[in-house]
Amino acid sequence: MDKKTLKQYRALLKEQALNDKAIDKLYDRAAEVPTVMGKVVGSSKDFPFTEVRTTVQMDEPKEADEIARRLRIRKERQEQIRATVLEIEQYIAEISDSVDRQIFELTFLEGKTQQEIATTVGYTQARVSQRIKSVLED
């Protein structure tokens, strides 16, 4: 795990919330897609099986397809975000040293500055930075 990925945690949580709202809006939009009349081709169920054209009601195809495509993209991104967030949380949870784990939680999960963390754990800001660097190098 690298520092760049860890720093993405809070931004990913915000993106996840925005993505949830966008998905909800797309579902609302999908419910409002106009219904149009369309023709389908089939065959009669009895012999001779002649071609039959039937008029049916269906969602407006172009708009419905566009909404479905956007929903698929959003859901795929949502899964990527969830996987990355889970990976970051697991990485931090697996840090064996309690003080280092606390420093990582405060830094990357809660977004506190190294100076605030130093006050909390009783170290200097430089020592907090050293501990982060040493864990990331391992």
Residue 111: CB atoms within 10 Å: 13
Domain count, the chain: 1
In a domain, 110, yes or no: yes
Burial group, residue 126, by CB count within 10 angstroms (0-12, 13-18, 19+): exposed
- Structural domain including 114 reads 95-137
In a domain, 85, yes or no: no
In a domain, 133, yes or no: yes
What is the amino acid identity at position 103?
A: I
Nearest alpha-carbon partner for 38 in 57, 61, 66, 62: 57
Coil, strand or helix: which one is 35? strand
pLDDT in tens, the chain (138 residues): 899 999 999 999 999 999 999 999 999 999 998 888 888 899 888 888 888 888 998 888 899 999 999 999 999 999 999 999 999 999 999 999 999 999 999 999 999 999 999 999 999 999 999 999 999 997
In a domain, 70, yes or no: no
Which tokens belong to 90? Answer: 């697991």
In a domain, 119, yes or no: yes
E strand intervals along 44-120: 51-59
In a domain, 2, yes or no: no
In a domain, 106, yes or no: yes
**DSSP state, residue 3:** H
In a domain, 120, yes or no: yes
CA distance 138 to 120: 24
